[in-house]
Chains A and B, each alone.
Chain A
Amino acid sequence: DAGVIQSPRHEVTEMGQEVTLRCKPISGHNSLFWYRQTMMRGLELLIYFNNNVPIDDSGMPEDRFSAKMPNASFSTLKIQPSEPRDSAVYFCAGGQGALAGGPHTGELFFGEGSRLTVL
């Protein structure tokens, strides 16, 4: 398996533009997490899904952020409009949740991250 695939790896955009980050989890994994990493705040959990359903979005900073998981193999994180303070590395991670059946270890598998710079 290719692992968790995120795109784009790097994105530079101007303030006010819409940004869409994409994630393809490992096949068979039914939980998916979006994290944001900055020097100041570390790794913040933005939202996570279980079986494509959003479970907890309390970490989403504001209404400018939205996330979807239309099917088990794809998720998006959208920022509209983007602001300079959104500059960060955004990670997608997935795992085999307890409801997926099989052994539950809690381990999450991370993508390589999308580095976003908003000018």
Chain B
Amino acid sequence: AQTVTQSQPEMSVQEAETVTLSCTYDTSESNYYLFWYKQPPSRQMILVIRQEAYKQQNATENRFSVNFQKAAKSFSLKISDSQLGDTAMYFCAFMNRLSEKLVFGKGTKLTVNP
């Protein structure tokens, strides 16, 4: 079974600074997706960024980028120029492309301070 581990229950960062959230996963599969989802206080889960395992290039979406280390099974999220609106729970997630089963980590609560 796939497992996703987020070792940082809480983090904080000053506005405009950069923060990195960690995620490791365990799988024997080779064909999968990795995701970071954001859950603000409004509770709605929103996709931040996705990575396909077969792609070596790290995904980037504006201020959000990932460091995907396939051999180490590591998938960290970097948020640059942090904004107050980035305050949320961030969940790392794994999807096996064959089964399409999406499994989440426990989440990291990020607070951006003014």
Interface residues of A (CB under 8 A from B): 31, 33, 35, 42-43, 45, 48, 50, 55-56, 89, 91, 93, 95, 97-98, 104-108, 110, 112-113
Among A43, A48, A89, A113, the residue within 8 A (CB) of B101 is A48
With both chains docked as a complex, state the minimum distance between the C-beta of B43 and any C-beta of chain A, in angstroms: 5
* Contact between B44 and A110, CB atoms less than 8 A apart: yes
Residue B16, interface by CB 8 Å: no
Chain B residues in the interface with A (C-beta under 8 A): 33, 35, 42-47, 50, 91, 95, 97, 99-107
A-B residue pair count with CB separations less than 8 angstroms? 56
- 8 example contacts (A-B, Cβ-Cβ < 8 A) are as follows A42-B104, A55-B99, A56-B99, A95-B100, A104-B97, A106-B97, A108-B47, A112-B44
In contact, A98 and B100 (Cβ under 8 angstroms): yes
Complex: chain B residue closest to A41, CB-CB: B106
Interface of chain A: mostly helix, strand, loop or mixed: strand
- Residues in B whose Cβ lies below 8 Å from that of A97: 100
Contact B47 A112 (CB under 8 A): no
| Complex: A55 Cα to B95 Cα, angstroms | 14
Contact A106 B101 (CB under 8 A): no
Chain A residues within an 8 Å CB radius of B47 = 107-108
Which one of B42, B46, B101 lies within 8 Å of A45 (CB-CB)? B101
What residues of B have a CB within 8 angstroms of the CB of A107 in the complex? 35, 47, 50
Whether B50 pairs with A106 at a CB distance below 8 angstroms is yes
For B105, give its contact among A42, A104, A112, A113 (CB under 8 Å): A42
Pick from A35, A42, A43, A50: contact of B100, CB below 8 A: A50
Question: Are the C-beta atoms of A89 and B43 separated by less than 8 Å?
Answer: yes
